[in-house]
Amino acid sequence: MTPDLEPLAIDKHTQFLGREIGRLSYGCWRFPGTPQSDIARKIDAAIEIGANLIDTAAVYGRGEAETMLGALIGERPSLRDDIVLVTKGGITPPVPYNSAKAHLVESCDASLERLKCDRIDVFLVHRPDYLTGHAEVADALDTLVKSGKARAVGVSNYTLEQTRALQHFLDVPLVATQPEISALRIDTLFDGTLDHAHAAQLLPMAWSPLAGGSLVTGKDPKGAGDRFNNLISALDRVAAENDATRDCVALAWLMAHPAGIVPIVGTQSPERIRAAAGAFEIKMNRRDWYDILEASLGERMP
């Protein structure tokens, strides 16, 4: 077999903050409105497939998602040691953003109370606040780490230059970045976000890795037309060759990138959470990977 036809390596685990985490993570943004009694089944299914990095945010259900996860942690205190806990602050509807130092510290305090724990593993600034300077945001994040309220910090939805600017003022290193990435949303491959994450050793956590579910349903969410249909066809071809589902191919495509992308799975079905582990069984070669990229771009690579 020629090197170009050999399956791309997709590791099931990686090292983060000195411990092993799965290459898939689980997101709690859809918890609000679902029964509390189902939360344990979802988290247990995530841990079962190695998705022990659990992501939430203060804004999800205006605190409800954190409260629901915190209720489970309160019932099962040992769960806290089984997971790497990520939460985010800074979105304040209808303002919409506030990353002033006092607000970020207060947001973290409130998250800790709702989550029933004394430390967040990674606290992220959810979106850039254009009215708060990077120096003040950095001061807030440094304060959270030095006080022990957050073990580490990172950013979400930040551009490459915004990330660099914030790091310039920080005493501690950023450890994670959380942009939107999917086979349909591929900006980060070209705008330097993933290159910087790779070089600076930031964990890239991909939110909406299945493009809001459109890569599961096959329904075009943005009027992309032929481009979307061609992408679905490319994913389906690889899925058929692997006797797998389209969503597993889409997740595998992300995880094959050398920056070490960790997709955040958000389904509310324990069965589908477990099924996501099928992504690790996908045999995708270099040509397959570029076929998917070219379909998403709508043109051949130069």
Q: Report, as residue numbers or ranges, the catalytic residues.
A: 60
C-beta atoms surrounding 164 within 10 Å: 15
- Measure the N-to-C terminal CA separation of the chain; round to a whole number of Å: 25
Residue with tokens 């990229």: 293
Q: Note if the bond before 32 is cis, omega within 30 degrees.
A: no
For 198, the enclosing helix (H) or strand (E) is helix 193-200
CB of 46 closer than 8 Å to CB of 34: no
CA dist 59 to 88, 113, 269, Å? 8, 15, 22
For 245, the enclosing helix (H) or strand (E) is none
Pairwise CA distance, residues 295 & 148, whole Å: 46
DSSP 204: E
Pairwise CA distance, residues 278 & 244, whole Å: 7
Instruction: Tell which residue, 238, 220, 237, 240, has the closest CA to residue 229.
Output: 220
Residue with tokens 């390596």: 9
Torsion of CA 298, 11, 145, 85, to 10 degrees: 90
If you compute the radius of gyration of the chain from its CA atoms, what whole number of angstroms results? 19
How many residues can be counted in the chain?
302
